[in-house]
Amino acid sequence: MQKAARKVFIASGGGHDLMTVSEGWEKYAREHASSLRVGDEWNRPRASGIDVKTSEAALPYLDRNVFEPFLGTCDIMLEIGPGGGRFTEVLLSKCKKLIAAETSATMLKLLRERFGDDVGIEYYLADGRGLGKVADDSVDAAFSYGVFVHLQHWDIYNYLAELQRVLKPGGKAIVQYSNTFSEMGWKRFRNAVPKQVNRHKIPGTFIVNTPELMREFIIRARLECVDVLTEIVRRDCIALIRKPAN
């Protein structure tokens, strides 16, 4: 291959039309921007193994059993991937300021339209590569739901390393991620085989993950894995993480 042609080939992802994570979610957000409220389509608790009777009961259930007991209240909280803001609503009452790090400009715009500029949210358009704008040791608590399930392992590790950087010593994080070998996780994995084989990662699909694998990434990012909950959202895992105190 000629030198110039090879350069273009590599820059374009080896000849494949590969989107970045940001581009993939931006495309999704634009396609769904006209729906009543983006994010409501993710609110199907039984499909993720949350044992509540109605979809309205899911967030209070998670808050009561996981978020509130572990996070309590604090000054500065960070949410990675707030999307339409269904968890943002719950997190706002737990902090004085919430940094909403979202990689899709359209999602961020919708989030701002929903919550406005007077509730203590800092709207942050993340580039998908990290949390560059957020200062070291500046955040009391972090939260991410519905995001790490889709990230590739390199992005998972990168974000954990970023959490290690931005959390204050002793700071806490809640991260939900996939549990491929749970009963529901495995069903999802098996059902995806026909559309996944012989493809690069399709945006929106669940990455393979396990409590053990994630624990390893958490430890290698120099964070402490306080607990991994597998029974609250039976398809997934929820990691309770802490940055060691100095």
Ligand X SMILES: C[S@@+](CC[C@H](N)C(=O)[O-])C[C@H]1O[C@@H](n2cnc3c(N)ncnc32)[C@H](O)[C@@H]1O
The residues of the shown chain that bind ligand X, judged by CB under 6 A, are 21, 25, 39, 42, 80-84, 86-87, 101-104, 107, 126, 128, 145-147
Torsion angle, CA of 73/173/91/137, rounded to 10 degrees?
A: 70
Q: Are 238 and 211 in contact (CB under 8 A)?
A: no
Tell me the closest approach of the beta carbon of residue 3 to ligand X, in angstroms: 33
Q: Which is nearer to ligand X, 104 or 164 (CB)?
A: 104
Q: Which is nearer to ligand X, 169 or 218 (CB)?
A: 218
Q: Which is nearer to ligand X, 86 or 168 (CB)?
A: 86
Tell me the closest approach of the beta carbon of residue 39 to ligand X, in angstroms: 4
Tell me the closest approach of the beta carbon of residue 197 to ligand X, in angstroms: 24
Backbone angles phi, psi at 224, to 5 degrees: -105, 130
Q: Which is nearer to ligand X, 9 or 109 (CB)?
A: 109
Q: Measured between alpha carbons, how far is 245 from 224 in angstroms, rounded to an integer?
A: 10
CA angle 167, 72, 175 (to 5 degrees): 50
Q: Measured between alpha carbons, how far is 2 from 174 in angstroms, rounded to an integer?
A: 49
Q: Measured between alpha carbons, how far is 3 from 82 in angstroms, rounded to an integer?
A: 43
Backbone angles phi, psi at 169, to 5 degrees: -55, 130
Tell me the closest approach of the beta carbon of residue 145 to ligand X, in angstroms: 5
Tell me the closest approach of the beta carbon of residue 118 to ligand X, in angstroms: 22
Q: Which is nearer to ligand X, 111 or 228 (CB)?
A: 111
Q: Measured between alpha carbons, how far is 106 from 28 in angstroms, rounded to an integer?
A: 9
